[in-house]
């Protein structure tokens, strides 16, 4: 949820590869906006995200609405520009008075804003990772582990799953499902993760 901006490996060469959406009610408005955040959850699901909050905990979709009202948050990942653009357009038309944060390439967010009549209000930029960077795992592993904003996806688990893919015990897609599970906010992009795993298994 928090640091979706620190995802490593997004590039202008893969425009539209992923956009994370986070909708959040300011905590003081949680009670009065309960209906509206549930409407957001309903609308987000309609556009069939690649992953969404609660999914990794196997929470059924019907519980997502009350959960959204209780937490004041809805998060999801999209892997195509047309679905996320349509979703943002619909949310704009509904004018629910709830904050929406888009996380992805700045150029992709600009395209979505242009097409939906919105303007970037506040931006969170990453300068980089500093300090004891020699303790970090390799770049491809980081491309997977940094997808969880809370850093709950273990780099050892990535290596373990890559080994199993090499041995034919798992497919890349099954590996991506397993790696998406620790990220309770549902923001691991399973499609991109499967592609990275397939690449790692070839090495």
Partner 1 sequence: MYVDQDLCRKCADCLPICPVGAFEIRNKKIVINYDSCVECGVCLRSGICTEGAIKQVDEIPYPRIIRAAFSDPLHHHESTEVLGRGTEEMKTNDVKDEFTEGNVGFSLELGRPGVATKLSELDKVTREVISLGGEFATYNPVLSLMENPDTGALKSEVLGERVLSAIAEFIVPRERAMDVLGELVTFINHSVDTVVTVSLIARNDENGGHSLLDDLKKLGQELGFNPYPNGKVNVGMALVR
36-55 positions binding partner 1, by CB under 8 A: none
Q: Determine which residue in the list 59, 136, 140, 198 makes contact with partner 1, applying CB under 8 A.
A: 136
String of DSSP letters for 53-94: TTGGGT--HHHHHHHHHHHTEEEEEES-HHHHHHHHHHHHHH
Q: Which stretch binds partner 1 (CB under 8 A): 70-78, 79-87, 186-194, 195-203?
A: 70-78
59 binds partner 1 (CB under 8 A): no
Q: Determine which residue in the list 43, 79, 86, 155 makes contact with partner 1, applying CB under 8 A.
A: 155
Query: Tokens 């955040």 — which residue?
Result: 37
2 binds partner 1 (CB under 8 A): yes
157 binds partner 1 (CB under 8 A): yes
202 binds partner 1 (CB under 8 A): no
184 binds partner 1 (CB under 8 A): yes
Sheet strand arrangement including 51-52: 19-24, 73-78, 51-52
Angle, CA of 125, 177 and 69, to the nearest 5°: 65
Phi-psi region of 200 (alpha: psi -120 to 50; beta: other; left: phi over 0): alpha
96-115 positions binding partner 1, by CB under 8 A: 96-107, 109-110, 112-113
Q: Determine which residue in the list 31, 60, 62, 156 makes contact with partner 1, applying CB under 8 A.
A: 156
Q: Rounded to the nearest whole angstrom, what is the least distance from the CB of residue 169 to partner 1 in the complex?
A: 13
Q: Rounded to the nearest whole angstrom, what is the least distance from the CB of residue 4 to partner 1 in the complex?
A: 6
5 binds partner 1 (CB under 8 A): yes
Partner residues linked to 77 by β-bridges:
20, 51
Paired tokens of 178: 């397993």
10 Å CB burial of residue 58 (0-12, 13-18, 19+) is exposed
Phi, psi (deg, nearest 5) at residue 129:
-110, 130
Q: Rounded to the nearest whole angstrom, what is the least distance from the CB of residue 167 to partner 1 in the complex?
A: 15
């Amino acid at each position: 949820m928090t640091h979706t901006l620190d995802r490593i490996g997004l590039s202008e060469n893969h425009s539209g590869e992923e956009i994370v959406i986070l909708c959040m009610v300011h905590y003081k408005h949680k009670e009065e906006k309960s209906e509206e955040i549930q409407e957001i959850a309903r609308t987000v699901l309609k556009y069939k995200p690649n992953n969404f909050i609660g999914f990794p905990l196997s929470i059924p979709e019907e519980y997502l609405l009350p959960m959204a009202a209780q937490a004041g948050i809805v998060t999801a990942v999209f892997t195509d520009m047309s679905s996320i653009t349509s979703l943002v357009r619909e949310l704009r038309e509904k004018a629910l008075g709830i904050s929406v944060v888009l996380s992805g390439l700045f150029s992709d967010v600009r395209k979505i804003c242009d097409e939906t009549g919105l303007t970037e209000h506040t931006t969170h930029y990453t300068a980089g990772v500093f300090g004891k960077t020699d303790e970090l795992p390799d770049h491809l592993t980081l491309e997977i582990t940094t997808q969880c904003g809370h850093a709950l996806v273990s780099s050892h688990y990535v290596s373990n799953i890559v080994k199993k893919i090499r041995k034919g015990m798992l497919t890349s897609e099954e590996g991506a499902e397993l790696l998406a599970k620790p990220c309770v906010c549902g923001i691991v992009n399973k499609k991109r993760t499967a592609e990275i795993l397939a690449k790692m298994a070839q090495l």
